[in-house]
Structure 1
Amino acid sequence: MLWLKRLEVEGFGPFAETQTIEFPSSPGVTVVYGENMRGKTTLLNAIRYAFFGTVLGRGSRERRLHTITNRARAAQGQYGFIVTLFFEFDGQEYELVRECVPNVPIPISDEHYDQRVMLRRGAAMLGPDQREKTLHLVFPREISRFFLFDGELLQEYEELLINESEAGHRISEAIERILGLPILRRGRTHLAQLSDEADRQAARDASRRQETQQLGVALQIATEQKDAHLKEVARLQVECEMLNAEKAELERYFQSTQKYAAILQQREEASNRLDIAAQDLKQAKSDLQRSMVESWRSLLQGPVQTARAAAQEEVNREVSDFLLSLRRKAANTGHCDTCDQDVAPDVVLRLRVSLPKDPEAARSPEGGVSRAMTRMADLNKFRVQDNVGEVRLLSNRIRDLQIEQIGLRDQIVELDAALTNSDPDRLRKSRVSLAEVIEKLSAARRGIEEENKKVEEKDRNIQRLQRKLQADGGLDLRDGQLRARILRSSAAVFGKAVEKYKSELRQRVETTASGFFLSMTTEKEDYDGLTINEGYGLTIRHKDGRAEEARSAGAEHVVALALMGALQNNAPLRGPIVMDSPFGRLDEGHTTNVIKTLPDMAEQAVLLVYESEVGRKSMRELLGSRLLREYELKRISSRRTLITQVR
């Protein structure tokens, strides 16, 4: 069991000078009171940093170590920090020191720091390899979420109710790890490997005998083919583990640079829109140029209409004169040249009377096509192409695109300024890498599924050959075959035992979690407990047997705390729980119940809270003798906090 004994921090966050917290050796609760910005989360991170060398911010984003250096010391030219953690594990005492030391006079990034780690067990200093193995044994990183958590991390446990959730899958794997199931699965795998080796030996023995040589060779071939598929499965599983680790690292990086990633995305979108606007502007200018080739005709529309009207009047006058000349000629000659007939005397008389006396009107037009008619014909050939509307639209489009380009360029300049402290190239490459990793991971998982089907097929073939060999083989082969059957049966029995144990363990977790939940909820008269699913997700069960569908944020919080306590009480690997401001989503009644239940959830509990959440008087009344020690984070300045013991 892991037990915290003393924590020392220097230059870490708001703790400029060396500050110390002593943890009592008796089971119970240690409370640290502190207002905002005083360092409660920093203390949680100090323990995390000591074990793993990382610090988490909001949203589980990994913080840059350069930002952890105390600002007051940095203003004086002192950079870096040191965390020392004394703890006990399985009866042995350890001292763990992790130090972040600058390697340049004025560091500005994490690359300007070196990390130094020292682990002492008793009086012996452990080497690097032994140190890492020991730390992984004492406190595996994968299960740290069950020991070091805040209200925000508790929210993630809602994902356990969603079967296809990637986050829920990771959490359920971590739960099985803390419950010790991977060790049992490795035992089952080892038995299966021994049975496979016994099968191979039996096949080799059979291939040496003339009577069973053919069966033995066939069995050897089938076994080798199965081994090849199993090796491919193992290779793909290792590849999946590596890809999952790479994916998790990339996701952590994106979480730590979420702000910059969003800005970079906006920058790339603005750049793409700028490229599109430039192409659209080029096309609009080309369309306008083409449209302007004929636009001069629109300018001549008025003059052409005036000239056409004048020419029409002149043509009309010439036609009238021509008709008048025909009538005069018919009146003078008594013959109509148009119809080639003589005109009657009475008609001639009427024609002469109707003719005008004006001598100008007596002129006859010249023969042929008149100049007026020629001009009219030319003017009628002129066609006006009215594209004023199109030109106007294109002009407005060009203007709008130019304005859009100006706005986009200004936006890109602002976004570039916001990305000053980031690495856009790394962000872009990481985004591409994440997409590639996800694709490779899907391919590897499909490969594992296909290879497992082939393994099953080869297994059926091997079993068929083994049954035939058992029937045809002699006494000298029976011992090897019997050993292989016993090992194979043992692996199957062990596998079923592991699954049964897992089911029983899950049931114990459900029972324990139900007890914690009922002790913490304020709705005891309505609820009967919790129901667990295959992925360790917990649903609230009413006394009528139905599941609670609409769970509030506070209810999720209480369920997550109940799961934490259940895992602590049922896991072979046990240790302290350190909770940072876990009551943010809880009302007074639930807060009171959680505090009362806390000592039963873990033997060693450290509670980091606002005093306004739970006053010291209330905390002492609720915990009684189980409240072992109290500390206060005292403000000296915005950059300095002292840890003082108040009880």
Structure 2
Amino acid sequence: MLWLTRLEMERFGPFAERQVLDFPNEPGVTVVYGENMRGKTSLLNAIRYAFFGTVLSRGSRERRLHTISNRESSAHGVFGFSVSLGFTFDGQEYELVRECQPKVRRPTSDDDYEKSVMLRCGRSVCGPQERERTLHQIFPKEVSRFFLFDGELLQEYEELLYSDSDTGPKISGAIERILGVPILKRAKLHLTQLGAEADKEEAREAAKQKGTEQVGIALQQATEQKEEHLREIGRLEKKLEELSRLRSEIDQYLDSNQRYSGVLEERDKVSKALDQARREEKVYQTKLQDAMSQAWRSLLRDTIKAAREAANEEAQRDFEALVLKLRAEAIDRGQCGTCEQEINPKMRARLKRTLPKDQVTPPRVSTAMTRLADLQKFNDSDNSGEIRQLWQRLKDLRLDQIAKEDHLSDLDNQLSEADPETMRRSKASRNDVLDKIGVVKAALIAETKKAEQKEQNAQRLREKLDATSTSDAGTSRVKARILRDAAAVFQAAVDQYKAELRTRVEETATKLFKSMTTEKHDYAGLSINESYGLSIMHREGTAEDGRSAGAEHVVALALMGALQKNAPLRGPIVMDSPFGRLDESHTTNVIQTLPEMAQQVILLVYEAEVERSRMRQLLGKRLLREYQLERVSARHTRVSKVSKGREVGHGAR
């Protein structure tokens, strides 16, 4: 059994200083309290990194190691991190140390780091090959999801209920791995291979014997042709497995980056809007420059207005003097100089009375008229309002750009752990992978049919050989028959073992589920399918459809506990925020059931999920130890041990 004893970290995530957590060596629960952004997920990742050298973010997306270095330390030019994990397995003590240290002064990518790992078993340090073999035996990465898990991902286990699910087979395979089924499958495969060799030997022997030569040669050909099809089937299955894994990785990457995908789309939108605002700013700058080039005219407006008024008055006087002059000349000539109409004496006398005694002679050409004409040509329009509007628009554009630049910076920070280009390529390549999967599946179906036909031909030929009685050929046939029968028996044994496993898992999961659910009277328990998917059964005997997220959460936890109880490999359960989808009653039941799920449980929660006093009340003596993640700064967290209601420093020592 795997048992964690000690976790030590330095500059890992928010843990800038050396921090240590000791885990009690007795069955029960250790609780680590921490608010959001304080490092609960980093603790889970520290254990994962120690075992596998990888770190996952929310959604099982693998993070770049360069992003793991404590940001406060990195700001001071100190990069890299280390994790030391102490544990026992089958009574033997181990210490596992994994480090990631910079090779250059200021690293910028994973390639700038040197990675090292050391496994100490007792007092001896394991060599590289022994280390990897030992770690794989103690804790295979394929089954880590059942020991180290994020509560937000528990809904994945609902996929086990659906035969067309992409995620379901992957989880189902991991379940069979933890239950020890692959060992039996490998044994069955070995028997099948021995049987195939015996079939070929039988055909060779028959080809050597008189009377069976023709049948033996035909059987050899049929066997060889079947093997060719089987090899092609194996190649196609391997190709399909690779493509399916690639599709799963792409889907998982896209699913886990769904939030980042939205952020990326928003970033592209904001970036385009920022570019548009910058282009618009240049346009308005040009408009403002044009307006400013004419702005001096508005400064002369009052002066020009006064000059116009003065020129207008003077021109009016000149015009009136001209009119009087023309009138006087018409009186003197008795004829209008404009229309040449004769003026009678009576009209001349009346017009003469209109003339002033002191008549002013107008200038030959009125300078006032000329000056007024020039002044009228001058554009004295006031564009100050336009300039104010342009200034205001430019001000708004600049403020808008600052806001967009800040928004863009925030989005870039959110995307700091993502790879936008990879996300774009992943979306583009998914359809291509799906097309290839379709082609490979079609080829696999065709090859399978051909292999079946060849096997049918071979079987008919074997039946012909059964009529012969040569001792050598008979011995070969008996050997081949025994191996084929043994493989069939072994397959039946595997199927029976899996059925018994499912029954045990179903019974254990039902017990745990009924302990955690609040509907104890309405639900009869859980029912398991071939893929280890669990359905909630009503007491009336029907399966519950349309289960809530909370119900899926409880079912997944029950499955986790059931696998722990029935698997050859047992170890701790480390859960990060497992109560997010549960109401208060279900949370209470789950907490009380935790000690039944595994002997060692490490729970990472924030107090808004479960208050500390309530946690102590529900677990009682089964609560072995409590830690608190304290905020030193936004980039710095310290671990403190909680003892009798107060916190005791438990960091560097």
Counterpart of 2:345 in structure 1 is none
Counterpart of 1:313 in structure 2 is none
Q: How many Å apart are 1:81 and its aligned residue?
A: 0.9
CA distance in 1, matches of 2:71, 2:270: 36
The answer (yes or no) to whether the contact 2:51–2:135 under 8 Å persists in 1 is yes
The answer (yes or no) to whether the contact 1:63–1:256 under 8 Å persists in 2 is no
Deviations 1:358-405 (A, max 9, x none): xxxxxxxxxxxxxxxxxxxxxxxxxxxxxxxxxxxxxxxxxxxxxxxx
Q: Which runs of 5+ in 2 are unaligned?
A: 273-400, 644-653
Please identify, of 64-73 and 190-199, the stretch whose mean Cα deviation from structure 2 is larger.
64-73
Amino acid at match of 1:171: I
Query: SS of the counterpart of 1:515?
Result: helix
The answer (yes or no) to whether the contact 2:271–2:408 under 8 Å persists in 1 is no
Q: Which runs of 5+ in 1 are unaligned?
A: 273-409
Counterpart of 1:343 in structure 2 is none
Percent identical across equivalent pairs? 60
User: In the alignment, does 2:482 pair up with 1:460?
Assistant: no
Counterpart of 1:544 in structure 2 is 540
Counterpart of 1:21 in structure 2 is 21
- Which residues in structure 2 correspond to 1:503-514 (within 5 Å)? 503-514=499-510
Structure 1 522/96 Cα, relative in aligned 2: closer, same or farther at 3 Å? same
CA distance in 2, matches of 1:175, 1:583: 23
CA distance in 1, matches of 2:271, 2:80: 39
CA distance in 1, matches of 2:201, 2:44: 55
Deviations 1:397-452 (A, max 9, x none): xxxxxxxxxxxxx9xx9999867967655444443433333322332233333222
Counterpart of 1:362 in structure 2 is none
Match of 2:431 among 429, 435, 443: 435
Query: SS of the counterpart of 1:528?
Result: strand
Amino acid at match of 1:232: E
User: In the alignment, does 2:81 pair up with 1:85?
Assistant: no
CA distance in 2, matches of 1:53, 1:254: 22
User: In the alignment, does 2:595 pair up with 1:591?
Assistant: no
CA distance in 2, matches of 1:271, 1:223: 64
User: In the alignment, does 2:531 pair up with 1:535?
Assistant: yes
Structure 1 230/548 Cα, relative in aligned 2: closer, same or farther at 3 Å? same
CA distance in 2, matches of 1:243, 1:130: 32
User: In the alignment, does 2:73 pair up with 1:73?
Assistant: yes
Counterpart of 1:490 in structure 2 is 486
Deviations 1:221-272 (A, max 9, x none): 1111111111112222222333333334444544565456456668999999
Counterpart of 1:636 in structure 2 is 632
Match of 2:551 among 542, 549, 555: 555
Match of 1:521 among 510, 517, 524: 517
Counterpart of 1:478 in structure 2 is 474
The answer (yes or no) to whether the contact 2:166–2:248 under 8 Å persists in 1 is no
Counterpart of 1:574 in structure 2 is 570
User: In the alignment, does 2:89 pair up with 1:98?
Assistant: no
Structure 1 628/270 Cα, relative in aligned 2: closer, same or farther at 3 Å? closer
CA distance in 1, matches of 2:266, 2:608: 41
CA distance in 1, matches of 2:116, 2:74: 20
TM-score, normalised on structure 1?
0.73
The answer (yes or no) to whether the contact 1:226–1:459 under 8 Å persists in 2 is yes
Deviations 1:592-622 (A, max 9, x none): 1111111111111111112333233332332
Structure 1 264/595 Cα, relative in aligned 2: closer, same or farther at 3 Å? closer
Amino acid at match of 1:512: T
The answer (yes or no) to whether the contact 1:62–1:256 under 8 Å persists in 2 is no
Q: How many Å apart are 1:134 and its aligned residue?
A: 2.8
The answer (yes or no) to whether the contact 1:577–1:605 under 8 Å persists in 2 is yes
Please identify, of 235-244 and 599-608, the stretch whose mean Cα deviation from structure 2 is larger.
235-244
Amino acid at match of 2:108: I
The answer (yes or no) to whether the contact 2:205–2:472 under 8 Å persists in 1 is no
- Which residues in structure 2 correspond to 1:56-205 (within 5 Å)? 56-205=56-205
TM-score, normalised on structure 2?
0.73
CA distance in 2, matches of 1:74, 1:470: 78
Counterpart of 2:611 in structure 1 is 615
Structure 1 128/450 Cα, relative in aligned 2: closer, same or farther at 3 Å? farther
Structure 1 263/618 Cα, relative in aligned 2: closer, same or farther at 3 Å? closer
CA distance in 1, matches of 2:434, 2:132: 29
**Equivalenced residues, count:** 508
The answer (yes or no) to whether the contact 1:179–1:567 under 8 Å persists in 2 is yes
The answer (yes or no) to whether the contact 2:152–2:580 under 8 Å persists in 1 is no
